[in-house]
Amino acid sequence: MPVATPKQFEAMLDSAQEGGYAFPAINCSSITTINAALKAFADAKSDGIIQFSTGAGQFASGLNFNDATKGTIILAEATHRLAEQYDVLVALNTDHCQPEKAASFLKPLIEATEARRAKGENNLFQNHMLDASILPLEENMAISREYLEMCAKNEIVLEVEAGVVGGEEDGAAGTEDMPDDMLYTTPEDMLAVYEALHELGRFTFAATFGNVHGHYKPGAVKLRPEILKQGQAAVIEKYGADAEFDLVFHGGSGSSLDEIRETLNYGVVKMNVDTDTQYAFTRPIAEHMFQNYDGVLKVDGEIGNKKSYDPRAYLKKGEQAMCNRIMEACEDLLSTGKSIGGQV
């Protein structure tokens, strides 16, 4: 089955909201990591989301070019081709894009989808994220409205954020000295987001509740999932049940299972997973290097072992380990076995 159509992606979001589960959104930066995600979703019989950051696009474009847009298009086109082999739905998203990068990154990607649609083809992307959370909320919503209008014309869902996810993840806006109050989205913020955007098109919302990019020792991150519950309640009380947000959980790596599952009760339909899958990919590669030291290196003038230093020998180990970790994420988010691929 190819990448989800816009209507299929909206059906995915509706199914998750109604069914109390969420999709793992996996950051990928190469064909190897894309294949790991696709295999995991297929093996878990879960639909899912593959996403690319500006940094991933730069990496994929090659050392001579550092072109985030071109690299991201290449990764997305490859995913469309590779996804045809599987019978689950996968949607494509771009991760954090700050306002200063939007004109040179998001606009060309939206235009690439527009060009495909003009030829009767599926959207290149089903979802884009504009992360203007570092701006005051009024300015954030002004630029979010601009990009939501662009996306809606092409049946693209826009992901927005209010409140700042702490830590650092591939250029995402969060600093070590971020004031605590910016790490927690208030019910008033959530009302303001709904009122600014709901009439323009479909969007998802990354509200913050103490979540931090990266991986930390137990106790270092103070999550308050009840903030999501309070914000949803405020919006629903004022505007009715149809106003319930499709929420996104950023900075999910390292969270406890109880915290993850609690957020599902409050409308989270997507959780980003990056740090954990990066480590899962790298760990067996490091083991391979240590265990095959004299094979991957030509020590003391020896010839090494081609089977050990062939990149495929260790990359396939990383691919499988990353696949395993994504399947764990599907279990955590209760999406295992719930693909709607054959139904829409």
Q: Active-site residue among 47, 87, 95, 242?
A: 95
- Identity (one letter) of the amino acid at 145? R
Whether 181 is catalytic: no
Kind plus residue range of the DSSP H or E element containing 272: strand 268-273
Pairing assessment for the beta strands 48-52 and 90-94 based on DSSP bridges: parallel
State which amino acid sits at residue 330: C
Task: Name, in order, each residue with C-beta under 8 angstroms of 314's C-beta and a sequence gap of 6 or more.
Answer: 284, 285, 288, 289
Neighbours of 331 (CB within 10 A): 15
Collapsing DSSP to helix, strand or coil, 157 comes out as: strand
Residue type, 253: S
C-alpha torsion sign, points 296, 300, 301, 302: negative
Integer CA distances (angstroms), 176 to 167, 168, 272, 273, 282, in order: 6, 9, 21, 21, 26
- Which residues form the catalytic set? 95
